[in-house]
């Protein structure tokens, strides 16, 4: 059992949890909790190392046993130390280091979501989860979005990372992808200032939705991708919606039209 916070493995976990730079350099991240680790395991995303404490539930112990049988490196950690390592308020008694492999975009796309400057980790994770639920097959993020592998994004995504390819790219590459895969008239920029309402747009065809930061609006780079604008009518007179709420409404209008 590991009983010192100065243990090199625990120090590595702390760095991966707290520093995006460490995650980028190591191409690794930390996943916490039974539910997320079950989702990772079910989609063949195998941990490199698993840490657990004696507070682990019976459900978690069953998962741990499967991982041990598969040859995953497992270490028991003093419960008070594991509590300090993670990013959650209350530890579930298990966390793991997973290697990160850049996902491969699909060759054809029916529904993509492009995120423009979504900096709040909770919003970003929620949008990915919603996009996954709506059947989106690709998420492209501008480089000023929150870190895809931050603990809060992973928690808010609830396993979406394992089901939808999500890539953080320079705008030049996002632009190239749009021009290569979709006609300009099927790339829609969510814009509170005007354009067609979501009900007026033909979302039955393969398309991409650009969701922007609700505080600063669309960046010049996002605006340059398309002349098509889509907006959500707000008879209540509010200036804007939370980005994750707007994304959910637009994504499920696609589902409605295609249903």
| CATH number of domain containing 116 | 3.40.1280.10
- 0.85 exceeded by the pTM? yes
pLDDT at 193 exceeding the cut of 80: no
Q: What is the pLDDT averaged over residues 60-66?
A: 97
Span 118-145, pLDDT tens digits:
999 999 999 999 999 999 999 999 999 9
Span 19-52, pLDDT tens digits:
999 999 999 999 999 999 999 999 999 999 999 9
Domain final residue, candidates 79, 99, 119: 99
141 and 233 part of one domain = yes
CB 188 within 8 A of CB 228: yes
183 and 58 part of one domain = no
**Which DSSP symbol is given to 102?**
P
Q: pLDDT band for position 81 (50/70/90)?
A: very high
Could you tell me if residue 1 is inside a domain?
no
195 and 90 part of one domain = no
Q: How many domains does the chain have?
A: 2
Could you tell me if residue 57 is inside a domain?
yes
Q: pLDDT band for position 194 (50/70/90)?
A: confident
141 and 74 part of one domain = no
Could you tell me if residue 59 is inside a domain?
yes
What is the per-residue pLDDT for 240? 75
What is the per-residue pLDDT for 248? 98
Closest by CA position to 194, among listed 217, 172, 215: 217
- Measured CA to CA, the distance from residue 171 to residue 92 in angstroms comes to 39
Domain final residue, candidates 69, 99, 129: 99
What is the per-residue pLDDT for 216? 81
89 and 117 part of one domain = no
119 and 223 part of one domain = yes
> CA-CA distances (angstroms) from residue 18 to 11, 76, 122?
11, 22, 16
What is the per-residue pLDDT for 214? 79
Domain of 51?
A: 8-99
């Amino acid at each position: 059992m590991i009983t010192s916070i100065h243990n090199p493995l625990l120090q590595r976990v702390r760095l991966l949890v707290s520093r995006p730079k460490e995650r980028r350099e190591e191409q690794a991240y930390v996943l916490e909790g039974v539910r997320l680790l079950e989702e990772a395991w079910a989609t063949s995303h195998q941990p490199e190392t698993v840490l657990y404490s004696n507070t682990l539930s019976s459900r978690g112990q069953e998962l741990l046993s499967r991982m041990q049988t598969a040859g995953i490196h497992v270490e028991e950690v003093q419960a008070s130390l594991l509590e300090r390592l993670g990013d959650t308020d209350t530890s579930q008694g298990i966390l793991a280091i997973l290697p990160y492999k850049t996902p491969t975009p699909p060759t054809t796309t029916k529904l993509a979501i492009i995120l423009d400057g979504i900096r709040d980790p909770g919003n970003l994770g929620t949008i990915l989860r919603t996009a996954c639920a709506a059947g989106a097959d690709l998420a492209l993020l501008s480089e000023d979005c929150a870190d895809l592998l931050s603990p809060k994004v992973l928690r808010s995504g609830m396993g979406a990372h394992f089901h939808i390819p999500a890539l953080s790219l320079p705008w030049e590459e996002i632009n190239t992808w749009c021009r290569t895969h979709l006609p300009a008239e099927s790339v829609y920029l969510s814009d509170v200032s005007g354009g067609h309402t979501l009900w007026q747009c033909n979302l039955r065809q393969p398309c991409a939705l650009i969701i922007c930061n609700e505080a600063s609006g669309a960046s010049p780079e996002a605006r340059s991708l398309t002349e098509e604008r889509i907006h959500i009518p707000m008879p209540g007179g509010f200036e804007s919606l939370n980005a994750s709420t707007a994304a959910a409404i637009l994504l499920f209008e696609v589902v409605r039209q295609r249903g």
